[in-house]
Amino acid sequence: MQFALDDFFHYLTVERGLSPNTIQSYKRDLNQYHMFMIQEENLDNWDHVTRANVMKFMYALNDKGRSPATVARILSSIRLFHQFLVREKVTNQDPSLHIETPKKERKLPKVLSSEDVEKLLSVSGTDPLDTRNRAMLEMLYATGLRVSELVSLKVGDLHLTMGFVRCLGKGSKERIIPLGDMAKDAIEQYLAKGRNALVKKKSTEELFVNHHGNRLSRQGFWKILKAVAREVGVTKELTPHTLRHSFATHLLENGADLRAVQEMLGHSDISTTQIYTQVSKTRLKDVYRSYHPRA
């Protein structure tokens, strides 16, 4: 059974070109599934797995208090794995067929107000770390990049004279995103006064580096974001995606085309982007209730 899993992970890496983070997510999901089939169902061959076995695993996840979104994601991983096994003729049937996906609660993403964004982007200080932090935050809000995409940027991905940045997103899909003047200025300051001081004599292509001159990690960025928020007095709960959500919502509030926002965010399905239109409507209702005299 393990050999089949290893082949599947190799397929995701080589043929599908998925990112290491996505591969790790599949591994976590399917390793749970694998151990359940061995330990709870006493199975040693994927061809012996039935629909009833898969349903028992789903019930076990529910009993452990897994959210509908988590169960839906794990079921999606299981389906893709069994489709792979059938296609590769490892098995002749797919036991995950016709199993209903749990309905996910669609939570609206949390966004910052324009005032909070202004606070967050008002990073003071002129030392190399300050210029880096200001450039990163301006870049995120200007482009809507995912944090993993931000920390993966190379210096060569910047095209400042043309005013855009090149990004490789999920599935190694390339997209070109415009940069605003304020983001360009912040990045130019970082390149002129910050990055060389951090990199010192190291030879590296990474755009954003830590104080050792090495590539900044997602966790490192998350710590920086929380520290900056504390410093400037932004008390609203933040996640690594908050500036991405704010970027999309503020664009739509100001009349941007939904398809253009979809392209900049790198969403393959426009229904994913449409959640931000709901955020905009909710914010308009809040403003109306707060300020209309007869609300």
Q: Known catalytic residues?
A: 146, 170, 241, 244, 267, 276
Name 165's bridge partners.
158, 177
User: Is residue 120 within 8 Å of residue 228, measured between CB atoms?
Assistant: yes
CA angle 245, 78, 69 (to 5 degrees): 35
Sequence-separated contacts (24+) of 148-151 with Cβ below 8 Å: 148/19, 148/21, 148/218, 150/208, 150/221, 151/208, 151/215, 151/216, 151/217, 151/218, 151/220, 151/221
